[in-house]
Amino acid sequence: MNYNFVKFESRNAKTEDRITVTKSQSIGLPTKFFNDNNIKDFKFAVLFYDKSANAIGIEFTNDENEKNGFSIVKSDNYGGNIVSRSFFKAHNIDTQKYHNRYNWKTYEQENAGKLFVIELDNPKLENN
């Protein structure tokens, strides 16, 4: 019998897929999420907020003319993060209360495209 083994090279790598809201008013994008969704190919994130659902939508883009885009800070060890203090302050979102890891789903937003959505009152949201 012939085998086609592939060497496991992710020892000690984080396999977390959930998007994180941090106490320091950032959105964390763990390595698994970052790689699975090719976030490395994007420079910016545009953030959306649905007050009635208390949900955040994230659109990833390379559009340098998007004046509301936040830079994606990329890391070799973690994936990336979006420093978004102004977003959280503008929407009165208390990151001390909502810091957590959130399951996410995708949603097609008219005039924006694909958003990755987290619901702040429902961290265990079912993935689609």
Give the predicted TM-score (pTM) of the model: 0.86
CA distances for 93 relative to 44, 69, 85, 116, 121, angstroms = 21, 19, 10, 18, 12
Residue with tokens 């320091």: 24
Distance CA 62, CA 71 (A): 10
> For the chain, what are the domain ranges?
19-119
pLDDT digit string, tens, across residues 55-87: 999 999 999 999 999 999 998 777 899 999 999
Q: Would you place residue 1 in the very low, low, confident or very high pLDDT band (cuts 50, 70, 90)?
A: confident
